[in-house]
Amino acid sequence: MYTGRYYFNESQFKLIKGDTFRVLKKFEDKSIDTIFADPPYFLSNNGITCSGGRMVTVNKGKWDEATSLKYKHNFNKKWIKECYRILKDSGTIWVSGTLHNIYSIGMALEENEFKILNNITWQKTNPPPNLACKTFTHSTETILWARKNIKKCKYKFNYKLMKEMNNGKQMKDVWTTSLTKPSEKKCGKHPTQKPLEILERIILASTDENDIILDPFSGSGTSGIAAYKLGRNFIGIEKEKPYLDLSIKRYEELKEKLNE
């Protein structure tokens, strides 16, 4: 079922090296419980930003470049279509993005028969300053949560747990955390690495123990770290070897810590 394997630890933590479009086609229909995707934002446009108090380029790599609006939208429609096929009818998909790609993703989800359940706003307490001083400071990202748009679809939502985690009150769709902590980057860095806290909340909200979570753009493996920590099974797809090796380092460090 899974080809191009890179790192397998029984069913708990699997990494596959390869192009996500080719790899996704190898998965069986309705075989995945939940999908979390942090696809390219397509914001590498030779601009500048601030990181650690220094002016740096926004360019992250060829994988983050878009040649046209049509290319960007076709890219999103293509991988989302495969995700619909491999996702169980009871499953849900979470997709993270910014203004650079999230509107295309929202449209692509609906074009591929998904129903958007929530528009989660991740509010960053310590965003980098806006060096150009020509717009408001960018301090949020969006996470779309969706299910298949089919009748009588009973998807997983651990409502009571979310309410319990929010001091007995309904959890709202604005989540406030800091940027990724330095302690989560000690094994190495990824330019779009998400805070572990965000992924843990997503996984607790929409999965049960032993569920299978797929990340088609796994990067530094934060979704896999959160999944393993919470007793879920993880499959990550990534084509860049340095990020796969970083994911393995993070996983093996966590595994050793949990077994102490």
194: domain CATH number is 3.40.50.150
Domain hosting residue 55, numbered range: 5-258
Domain count across the chain: 1
Decide: helix, strand or coil at residue 227: helix
Query: pLDDT tens-digit profile of 34-67?
Result: 999 999 988 755 454 445 555 444 445 564 555 6
pLDDT at 8: 82
pLDDT at 62: 60
- Specify the pTM: 0.89
Q: Distance of CA 211 to CAs 13, 35, 151, 206, Å? A: 12, 11, 23, 10
Query: How many CB atoms are closer than 10 A to CB 7?
Result: 18
CB-CB contact of 213 with 36 (8 Å): yes
- State phi, psi for 112 to the nearest 5 degrees: -105, 30
What is the number of alpha carbons within 13 Å of residue 232 lying toward its C-beta? 27
Burial per residue of 104-131, b for 16 or more beta-carbon CB atoms within 10 angstroms, e otherwise: bbbebbeebebebbeebebebeeebeee
- Which positions of the chain have pLDDT values less than 70? 1-4, 10, 44-67
